[in-house]
Amino acid sequence: MISERTTCLIGRELTRERPWRGAIGAASRPDTALARADRRPSVGAHDPSSHPPAFAADERTQITGWLDLQRALVHWKCAGLSELEAHRPVLPESPLMTMAGVVSHLRWVEVLWFEILFLGRPGYGPDFDDEREDADMIVDDVPLSRLLTEYDEQCAVSRQIVAEHSLDDVGRNTDIEAGAASLRWMVLHMLEETARHVGHLDAIRELLDGRKGYY
């Protein structure tokens, strides 16, 4: 049974805006093509440039391809960070909005939408912590490498779930309204959710060390 607090959390997840007031200014860096190339991290299999779907691909290939691109960008944005940087807050009014905190949050929303809301599995994880708000982002003692590995593994679970069902199938969770959404709706929501937080990672990374860019 999903608690009333978790129901509110899921509703807020669909609408919440993170505060961006008081952001610290980034250090000035040369913006030449050579300087930009020198800042490009290499993440191997997570190279986001390999993920965009073909222009004329079918619907499933397009929406899952664009989602996988955003998932790859999460890894790309974190490449080369020290543990201190990964856990350093740079937004004074959003202390949990760190690179590590965002990665953890993205792992748990994959769980929430595909395992719990779509498949109807019992709720588990920090989203069901009734004692701490935003518990999924409290990861001060967790290495970034572990968070990225767990995110990668969870994305693989999500891909399998999506691959095994029709986009027209609806969720099995009957405790909250969003659980009745179609798989198509959930995939599109996760595309929006992930892309939005990749934008947060863009800004946080630039504030940390000046690195920026798409791919």
How confident is residue 13, by pLDDT bands cut at 50, 70 and 90? low
Number of domains in the chain: 1
- For the stretch 42-68, pLDDT in tens is 455 677 766 689 999 999 999 999 999
Within-domain flag for 17: no
Mean of the pLDDT values across residues 87-94? 96
Structural domain of 170: 47-209
Domain of residue 110, CATH code: 1.20.120.450
Q: Name the β-bridge partners of 182.
A: 170
Which residue type is seen at 85? E
The per-residue pLDDT for 105 is 98
- For the stretch 168-205, pLDDT in tens is 999 999 998 999 999 999 999 999 999 999 999 999 99
Within-domain flag for 42: no
Q: If you search the block for the tokens 């999903």, which residue do you land on?
A: 2
Within-domain flag for 27: no
Residue 16: partners with Cβ closer than 8 Å, 6 or more residues away: none
Q: Name the β-bridge partners of 170.
A: 182
Lowest-pLDDT choice from 6-10, 113-117, 125-129? 6-10
pLDDT of 29 over the 80 cut = no
Within-domain flag for 15: no
- For the stretch 139-179, pLDDT in tens is 999 999 999 999 999 999 999 999 999 999 999 999 989 99
CA–CA gap between residue 60 and residue 62 (Å, rounded): 5
Query: Which residue, among 193, 171, 191, 195, has the nearest Cα to 183 in the 3D structure?
Result: 171
Within-domain flag for 40: no
Within-domain flag for 215: no
Whole-number mean pLDDT of the chain?
Answer: 84
Is residue 59 within 8 A of residue 37, CB to CB? The reply is no
- For the stretch 103-125, pLDDT in tens is 999 999 999 999 999 999 999 99
Within-domain flag for 188: yes
The per-residue pLDDT for 21 is 24
How confident is residue 10, by pLDDT bands cut at 50, 70 and 90? low
Within-domain flag for 99: yes
pLDDT of 41 over the 70 cut = no
Which residue type is seen at 67? L
Upper half-sphere CA count for residue 142 (Cβ side, 13 Å): 19
